[in-house]
A = this chain, B = another copy of it.
């Protein structure tokens, strides 16, 4: 038998917090990441649109909504002679864009955390909006560490062992 059952301390919440050191690790902690970061390169976009401040701002805000994120604040700026930079700070991290209309290129970052938000929805939305001919993506996990699992999952694990 792997574990000595029910020899742990009972937490105020009524959940068996640990049974032995191994079991604690098994049920209570899991290597997870806090955030998901999508790095996107859009090439061959509509150059006029990439230089339209209002269009870019509206697209990025709509993309944040597509991703089911909660918008906190946004900042957009147009450079001379061309190019736009902008960030939408969301409760789940941020969406950022930098455009080089002269090259039909935009660098986009879609950084979200939590399981409800989906950066890929924002990616597909923007890809269509900018009429990007070539798109490359890189998905990274940010903040990987041993994190406590939700209470429900721990209870399920305990059930499975008892």
Chain A interface residues (CB < 8 Å from chain B): 34-35, 37, 39, 41, 43, 72-73, 75, 77, 79, 85-87, 89, 91, 93-94, 96, 98, 100, 103, 105, 107, 109, 111, 113, 138, 140, 142-145, 147
Judge whether B98 and A140 touch: CB under 8 Å: no
Copies of this chain present: 2
CA distance A39 to B89 in the complex (A): 17
Q: Which 6 A-B pairs have the closest CB atoms?
A: A87-B87, A107-B142, A73-B75, A72-B77, A105-B143, A93-B98
Judge whether A77 and B73 touch: CB under 8 Å: yes
Chain B residues with CB below 8 A from A107, complex form: 34-35, 37, 93, 111, 142-143
